[in-house]
Structure 1
């Protein structure tokens, strides 16, 4: 008799996220010299012209305190540049450098390979359904505690 399926959703999500992150980080580091967290920031900077560090934090769903060292590492690596905000002297705008754009391009085949493996594992319907469910979970706002 096969074992009963595990219904501890939070545990399963944590375990899956850990396994996927380790695998994706290893591949992205080998292909482009960046982690998936760094790659997510590079995508956001590329896709949203004039993005501030505060907006990057919001886009990535991170606290400003987590984004500050992330941006510092990307800047030190020459992947992102900071420039003065045109209207707010307290803010800086993040721009993707040529090296940052090259890192995004170098990571693209690994992202495609990773997604192809997930499609193979889950099937096309399972992949689409999983992506939709994870999108819902990522944007879920729990009810306030009573």
Structure 2
């Protein structure tokens, strides 16, 4: 006999718990591969700047934090060799934040780990339930950038 479903009012907490479980599994792998100081917020930044870089202002807006907070995070990532800054090609007042080889390596590791975690979840819940979950989650979050849980 299966256990009763949680009440619908528990949905936000269930989503947060699932997000935390997935983020922790990815973060554990990143730490195990020599990057213990990185956190999920760094992954959100890496994903944002991976394609073409971004200014600190753009990163702050993406994360929903102040420019000062974003600058502090970027300074630490730069000191650890994950990002570099150079003059922005279109905004003389800004600097473009880009991934270094080290930052790209971590991003690739996180992507591989995320794919493995997704595969494990699909094996646990089944292909049909996974398709339903993906569709529902996509519709719930459509138009909202990913932001780390603080």
TM over 0.5: yes
CA–CA distance in structure 2, aligned partners of residues 2 and 123 of structure 1? 17
Distance 1:140 1:42 in 2: 19
**How many residue pairs were aligned?**
139
SS at 1:12 equivalent: helix
Structure 2: how far apart are the matches of 1:21 and 1:50? 23
For the aligned residue pairs, the C-alpha RMSD in angstroms reads: 2.5
Aligned match for 1:96, one of 91, 96, 99: 99
After TM superposition, where is structure 1 displaced by more than 6 Å over at least 4 residues in a row?
none
Relative to structure 2, which stretch is displaced further, 73-82 or 29-38? 29-38
TM-score (norm 1): 0.76
Of 110, 128, 133, which residue of structure 2 is paired with 1:107?
110
Superposition deviation, residue 2 in structure 1: 4.2
CA 56–28 in structure 1, closer or farther in 2 if over 3 Å, else same: same
User: What corresponds to 1:3 in structure 2?
Assistant: 3
Q: What corresponds to 1:86 in structure 2?
A: 89
Distance in 2 separating the partners of 1:85 and 1:111: 31
Distance verdict in 2 for CA 1:24–1:106, change over 3 Å: closer
Deviation, 1:77, is 1.1
Gaps of 5+ in 1: 142-146
In structure 2, C-alpha distance between the alignment counterparts of 1:4 and 1:45, rounded to whole Å:
43
Query: Aligned in 2, Cα 1:17/1:128: closer, same or farther, shift over 3 Å?
Result: same
After superposition, where does 1:1-146 map in structure 2 within 5 Å? 2-7=2-7, 8-31=10-33, 33=35, 34-47=38-51, 49-59=52-62, 61-65=63-67, 66-139=69-142
